[in-house]
Amino acid sequence: MVIGYRELKAGYEAALPGSVRIVNDEQEGKTPLIGIAAGLQAAESEYAFICSCDVPFVNRAVVGLLFDRASGADAAIPKWSQGHTEPLEAVYRTSSTLVATRETLPLDGSRLKVMIDKLGKVVYVPVEAEIRALDSDLRTFFNVNTRGDMDRAEELCGREFSATT
């Protein structure tokens, strides 16, 4: 069974607070830039937190840190010591990132790195030195891509919920 946008949107609307606005991609494609463009177009704030849909344990304190670090810049992006970045769990200045995204979409590949390279000032936030202080096991970056990942996520949720009850 394939679930369409309407069904997904209805499910999200039922689960999220009424203050959350859900927007669909303006076009079909296999790049996150299409969703980023749609979200930024709908955003009403100077900065926006952008994350992928497969990270169930986004840490509120980490998001706050990224917003703080993005102030005065075009983006605050987590960066691992080996150089890998987390551009899909970052804070971006809405206006400049929307322009950069629209400039990048027609390009071959429509890669996030190309879009980021079009931004002016990007602050890279060290994962090990700053983010780990707020999220010791770095669960904020946990992705669910496989059935095994989902099983692990459910296990982690069960442990967290049972520890609080």
Is 112 part of a structural domain of the chain? yes
Whether 7 maps to a domain, the answer reads: no
> Cα angle at 29 between 40 and 94, to 5 degrees?
10
Domain tally, the chain: 1
* DSSP-derived secondary structure letter, 139: G
Long-range CB contact pairs, 42-46, < 8 A, 24+: 43/94, 45/94, 46/93, 46/94, 46/95
CATH number at 58 reads: 3.90.550.10
Rg (C-alpha) for the chain, rounded Å, is: 17
pTM: 0.83
- HSE at residue 53, side-chain half, CA atoms within 13 A, is 8
The angle at the Cα of 25, spanning 24 to 26, to the nearest 5 degrees, equals: 110
Say if 84 falls within a structural domain.
Answer: yes
* Residue 144 located in a structural domain: yes
Q: What is the pLDDT of residue 109?
A: 58
Is 94 domain-assigned? Answer: yes
pLDDT at 30: 67
Domain presence at residue 134: yes
Q: Provide the residue range defining the domain that includes 160.
A: 45-164
Each residue's pLDDT expressed in tens, for the chain with a length of 165 residues: 445 666 777 777 787 777 777 777 766 666 788 889 989 998 999 999 998 888 888 999 999 999 999 999 999 999 999 999 999 999 999 999 999 999 998 876 568 999 999 999 999 999 999 999 999 999 999 888 888 888 888 888 875 544 443
Query: 123 by DSSP, 3-state: which?
Result: strand
Does the residue 23 lie in any domain?
no
pLDDT at 1: 45
In whole angstroms, give the CA distance from residue 108 to residue 144: 28
59 within a domain of the structure (yes/no):
yes
